[in-house]
Structure 1
Amino acid sequence: MVMATHTKLLHAIVVLQTAAVFVQSITAGLMMTIPSGHVLHSAGSYTLWVVTVAHVVVAVLAWRPGGGSAQPIWYALGFLALITGQVYAGVFHLTALHVPLAAVLLVASLLYLLRIRSSLRRNTRPRPAAAAAYR
């Protein structure tokens, strides 16, 4: 029961993280078209960083008290390292690194979201009675 709750919470934070990465691509476009776009993009980057730190916390909660796998922690820490690098690349205007890394972050977050979603479906499916009786 606790593990399912933590898995759902992990799913929710990764949905939020993926949405924040996607919104960042929109604010990047706004940054190029409107004068105040850089403020939105900057605020979004720090918001995404905080969401990613929350992702690390939730991954630890899903692992330790929930009895789940430690694998989500490594993903969350890796994503945090990449997001931190992304923030620094943006602050120092390293566009040649910043733009491709943004694409990698969006794809990685989306793929991880799909993986968690399929895991969540697998764990919440009712087992057939014959399989339950066999165990």
Structure 2
Amino acid sequence: MAWPIRWALRIVITAHMLAVFVQAVFAGRFLSGDFEMLRLHFINSQVVGALGLAETALAILYWRPGRGRGWPALACLAVSIAEPLQIASGLLRVIGVHVPLAVAVFAASVLLTLWAWRPTFGVRRSTAASEERR
């Protein structure tokens, strides 16, 4: 596995998760009456979307040329598809879709970050299985 792709994927997955967390903070502050936070929530949604696309591209590079696992590319793609729906539902004020989708994006981002920082990240499956048996 190419070292730079693994580290780039780790960093972008982590940055994406942090940006998603900040979205929740901005939303909470807005709901508490700080109406300026709604503008920041929108601006940060663009950051989240861009990081989601970068994460997906890196996950594809990790999978195909890098011979890593394929499921992270699919998971990142699913999140990258959900995020524009998330933005649209927020702009249209469809809160019944926006909030549950936010929870799903947040959960997926946390799980991807936990996976990316596992000690066996980037280790081939046969090597990782033998290390886990020790």
Q: Which runs of 5+ in 1 are unaligned?
A: none
Contact 1:7 1:120 in 2 (8 A): no
User: After the TM superposition, which parts of structure 1 deviate over 2 Å for at least 4 consecutive aligned residues?
Assistant: 119-123
- TM-score normalised to structure 2 length: 0.82
- TM-score normalised to structure 1 length: 0.82
For residues 59 and 108 of structure 2, the distance between their equivalents in structure 1, rounded to whole angstroms, comes to: 16
Q: Which has the higher helix share?
A: 1
Letter paired with 1:65? P
Q: Give the deviation of 1:122 after TM superposition.
A: 7.6
Letter paired with 1:35? F
Q: Give the deviation of 1:45 after TM superposition.
A: 0.7
Letter paired with 1:97? V
Match of 1:100 in 2: 100
| Structure 2 residue 90 is the aligned partner of structure 1 residue 85 | no
For residues 53 and 30 of structure 1, the distance between their equivalents in structure 2, rounded to whole angstroms, comes to: 27
For residues 119 and 90 of structure 2, the distance between their equivalents in structure 1, rounded to whole angstroms, comes to: 34
Q: Count residues with an aligned counterpart.
A: 124
Structure with max Cα Rg: 1
Letter paired with 1:12? I
For residues 42 and 122 of structure 1, the distance between their equivalents in structure 2, rounded to whole angstroms, comes to: 34
Match of 1:6 in 2: 5
